[in-house]
Structure 1
Amino acid sequence: MVLSLLRRARAKSGGAGGGGLVLPVPRGAGTVSCEVVDPVGQRLGGAEITVTAKSDGRVVAKGTTDLFGLFTAALPAGEYGLLMTAESMRPASWSFYIEPGETLSMGRVELEVAQQLEPPSPGMWLIDPPHTAIRFIAKHVGMANVHGRFQKFEGGVRIAENPEESEVRVRIEAASLTTGNKTRDTHLRSADFLDVENYPYIDFVSDRFVYRGGNTWSVQGALTLHGVSRSVALDTAYLGAVNGGYGEELRCAARATAELHREDYTLNWRNMLARGIAIVGPTVKLEMDIQTMFQGPDTPTPPE
């Protein structure tokens, strides 16, 4: 990561500008801003930026750059750490201090392309459940997030000689859902939501891999939930392959995310609200941390 310019303009006017946008700044606060570009100078919209307070590690600002690669945040006076991530780019981080009334411009921030990892070997890779997590996050009636996970699932990835022709199959036991609250879990398993008695499984079957650059892919396919199949794209980051685990078996890892709309699967949020059922909001975010083992004659069986 290269900072082509770092300049401080100590404006005491009580306002701040970033990319022509003027923000009202509370008394005693300041602003930080930057423009994010790739190695050839193209502006990077959608880069994710997280600002944490050095004093207690609390996240105080989180957002993405706009279409012009610009980001601005108003912050109380203090010392902060900033983490910047973007698809196919190396993460960048640094520390800075904001004084009351200060406008801190970090100028143009150039991100470097992430080092491309060696792709996994062609063949069948089996999901290792003890080292895999399938989670979901949803709003609780527009308020706090509800976090949950599925505890039972199986599947694998067939890596083709041409990686774009690879395939993924995952089957999840819908009743294995847990959010840490028995009453809520029972309701989520009921006919009002997943209806696990009639639809015991959630299935994902991919039909193509689309390369996005660096170590990122879009794994596209169909997710079948509640008896309905819809197209879903998993934004996937490949994390590499190593020998290890139960023995010295070859394994690889990836992280994937997707957003589902409940009404796509006949889970009608508005009807549920009208009936007084208010568990989670209309969209659900999926997060998957996946480890797979290369299938061979000596591949170990994961413990229960």
Structure 2
Amino acid sequence: MVLGLLRRLRPYGASDAAPGLSVPLPPGAGAFGCEAVDLLGQPLGSVEVTVTALDSHRVAARGTTDPYGYYMAVLPPGRYSVMLTADGLAPARETVEIAAGVAPAPARVTLEPGRRLELPPAGTWVFDPPHTAIRFIAKHVGMAHVHGRFTRFDGGIRVAEDMSDSQVSVRIDASSITTGNQTRDNHLRSADFLDVENYPYIDFTSTRFAYHGGSKWTVHGTLTMHGTSRSVGLDTEYLGTVNGGYEQELRCAALARTELHREDFTLNWRSMLARGIAVVGPTVQLALDVQAMYRTHDTPTPPH
């Protein structure tokens, strides 16, 4: 539908516009359309498009391209900056002039692969706990979001010569969960939720690294929590390497995100609700902000 409309855009009131195919514009408004494609000219769906007015610097429109790579917005006259972004691709920016009563043909915008950062050297990388954070966000049942983190963990990365063959493992002390509320934290540690006495650790072990262009990867692996193992994918952005720290160690950094569903790990939140314990909702957003230190030139599997 959107594709057909964009191909038939005409200035409002144009005499050659077939009935039912022109796009009526509000009085004094104009239209902008674009077609996002890759280097091979293939359409790119789900590209984020942000249109910003250059005079006020305010966002005038925002959305995503359809499966055919098209996006359209009706705007007041003026000059606008249009930014197109997508995972693994370099952002593209266009400046457009919108005129009243005019709906030009969509502009084709080519998005190129994002710049790929130099990958870390092969070898063992060990998490640096003071500069690493494991956080989560969950919606409090019927209320605001709950922000929490785990304060005790260790892990490492075995970077292979072929990055896709690399491995990462993380072990989290489940009892170190904290949300800033002692009563809630005690419930989270109890048998109603993490049951830390019987399941003291939360473990993640990767199975493969999948590259998505630019600095984007998905780290696939197995997460074991509350005695149950599930396959999960961590959407990961590699941030590069730097020499830093007291001993000028070589360090690498990355951000990783995933969504967990509590019922997948047999965490009985309905039981808690029935007992009047409103801890957190069934969906949890997990985020890892990792900094790791290069330790050796060999490649052993990181310790748990």
Give the gaps of 5 or more residues in structure 2: 1-8, 14-20, 298-304
Q: Is the 8 A contact 1:98 1:104 kept in 2?
A: no
Once the 2 structures are TM-superposed, how far is the Cα of residue 197 of structure 1 from its aligned partner? 2.4
- State the match for 2:132 in structure 1: 132
Structure 1 position 154 matched with structure 2 position 154: yes
The separation in 2 between residues aligned to 1:106 and 1:265, in whole angstroms, is: 47
Once the 2 structures are TM-superposed, how far is the Cα of residue 203 of structure 1 from its aligned partner? 0.7
* More displaced 10-residue stretch of structure 1: 34-43 or 49-58: 49-58
- State the match for 2:206 in structure 1: 206
SS at match of 1:213: coil
The separation in 2 between residues aligned to 1:233 and 1:217, in whole angstroms, is: 10
* More displaced 10-residue stretch of structure 1: 245-254 or 54-63: 54-63
Q: Is the 8 A contact 2:113 2:213 kept in 1?
A: no
Structure 1 position 291 matched with structure 2 position 299: no
Q: Under a length normalisation based on structure 2, what TM-score does the superposition of the two structures give?
A: 0.73
- State the match for 1:259 in structure 2: 259
Q: 1:213 to 1:75 in 2, by over 3 A?
A: same
Q: 1:29 to 1:293 in 2, by over 3 A?
A: farther
Q: Under a length normalisation based on structure 1, what TM-score does the superposition of the two structures give?
A: 0.73
Once the 2 structures are TM-superposed, how far is the Cα of residue 102 of structure 1 from its aligned partner? 10
Once the 2 structures are TM-superposed, how far is the Cα of residue 289 of structure 1 from its aligned partner? 1.7
Give 1:195-234 correspondences, 5 Å limit.
195-234=195-234
What CA deviation, in whole Å up to 9, does each residue of 1:118-170 have, x standing for no partner? Answer: 21111100111122221212223366432222222111000112222211011
The separation in 2 between residues aligned to 1:185 and 1:148, in whole angstroms, is: 9
Amino acid at match of 1:124: T
- State the match for 2:121 in structure 1: 121
Once the 2 structures are TM-superposed, how far is the Cα of residue 241 of structure 1 from its aligned partner? 1.4
What CA deviation, in whole Å up to 9, does each residue of 1:101-128 have, x standing for no partner? Answer: 9989974432221112221111100111
Give 1:169-188 correspondences, 5 Å limit.
169-188=169-188
Give 1:1-304 correspondences, 5 Å limit.
34-48=34-48, 64-71=64-71, 84-92=84-92, 107-141=107-141, 144-296=144-296
Q: Is the 8 A contact 1:250 1:294 kept in 2?
A: yes
SS at match of 2:252: strand
The separation in 2 between residues aligned to 1:58 and 1:179, in whole angstroms, is: 35
Q: 1:59 to 1:37 in 2, by over 3 A?
A: same
Q: 1:114 to 1:272 in 2, by over 3 A?
A: same
Give the gaps of 5 or more residues in structure 1: 1-7, 13-19, 298-304
The separation in 2 between residues aligned to 1:80 and 1:190, in whole angstroms, is: 54
What CA deviation, in whole Å up to 9, does each residue of 1:3-47 have, x standing for no partner? Answer: xxxxx99979xxxxxxx9x9xx9x999987644322322222233
SS at match of 2:212: strand
Q: 1:109 to 1:190 in 2, by over 3 A?
A: farther
SS at match of 1:188: helix
Structure with the bigger percentage of strand: 1
Q: 1:200 to 1:97 in 2, by over 3 A?
A: farther
User: Over aligned residues, Cα RMSD in angstroms?
Assistant: 4.0
What CA deviation, in whole Å up to 9, does each residue of 1:247-289 have, x standing for no partner? Answer: 3211111111111111110013444444434332222121212
How many matched pairs? 281
The separation in 2 between residues aligned to 1:52 and 1:181, in whole angstroms, is: 41
- State the match for 2:5 in structure 1: none
The separation in 2 between residues aligned to 1:102 and 1:182, in whole angstroms, is: 61
Once the 2 structures are TM-superposed, how far is the Cα of residue 212 of structure 1 from its aligned partner? 2.4
Aligned-pair identity in percent equals 60
What CA deviation, in whole Å up to 9, does each residue of 1:170-215 have, x standing for no partner? Answer: 1112222222333332322222222222222111011222222332
Q: 1:272 to 1:49 in 2, by over 3 A?
A: farther
Amino acid at match of 1:179: T
Q: Is the 8 A contact 2:239 2:252 kept in 1?
A: yes
